[in-house]
Amino acid sequence: MRLVIARCSVDYAGRLTAHLPSAPRLILVKADGSVSVHADDRAYKPLNWMSPPCTLKEGEDKWTVENKAGEKLIITMEEVLHDSSHELGVDPGLIKDGVEAHLQELLADRMDTLGEGWTLIRREYPTAIGPVDILCRDADGTTVAIEIKRRGEIDGVEQLTRYLDLLNRDPHLAPVKGMFAAQEIKPQARVLATDRGIDCVTLDYDALRGIEDDKLRLF
C-alpha cells in the first residue's frame, strides 16, 4: 500500500464530471490497483476513487488514473507532504460472526437447496483480493460465486462484483455468475445486484438447519 498526503485538486471524467478544489488530502494506492482520495472528516468513505482494474500514470505534477471503461481520475499535485509505501502481506480476511459462518457451512453442505444438480466446488475459494464464500456449479454446469451475509447491504454487492470481475478472467472458470445470499437483503442492495445481473437469495437459517421445511426465496 502507498500513502500520499498532498495538497491537490481532483477531476473525474466519465459518465459524469466532478471536481474537488485544492485542499490537503490522503491518497491511497492499494495492491489491488485501486486508487482512492480521502478527506479527514468523512470517516472511511473516499471523496473519489477508481476501482480495479485500472492504470496509474504519474507525471511530474499530475496523476492520471484510468479504468478499462475509459473513465479518468486526474489528480493535480501542488505539494506532496508525505509519500510512503508499506507491504501489508496477505490479509487473513474478515472473521465472520457465528451465524454468517454457519450459514456458509450449511449452504455448502446442502447445495441442493438452491436447485437440483447444484454442486460445490469449494468453500472460501481463494482469490488475490480475498476468499469467495462459496464457488459452485449450477445444474447447467455454469460456475457461480456466492457471497453470504447475515444482512445484505450495498457493500456486499460491491464485494461480490469485485470477485466476479477477477474470476471471469480465469478461462477455466468463466463465465462466472454471481449470487448474493443473506437472511435479509436491503432494497438498495437488491436493486444494485439486479442491475449487475446478480441473483439474490434470502436464506432461512432454521430451514437450512432442518428445523423447518427448506425455504429459499430467489428474486
* Digit-coded pLDDT (tens) for 30-69: 988 899 999 988 767 899 989 888 999 999 899 999 998 8
Mean of the per-residue pLDDT values of the chain: 88
Which grid coordinates belong to 120? 460445490
pLDDT band at 218; cut points 50, 70, 90: very low
Q: Is the pLDDT of residue 216 over 70?
A: no
DSSP 110-136: TGGGG-TT-EEEEEEE--TT--EEEEE
Residue 219: its pLDDT value, please?
Answer: 46
pLDDT in tens, 81-139: 999 999 887 666 655 555 678 888 889 998 988 989 999 999 999 998 889 999 999 99
Residue 92: its pLDDT value, please?
Answer: 64
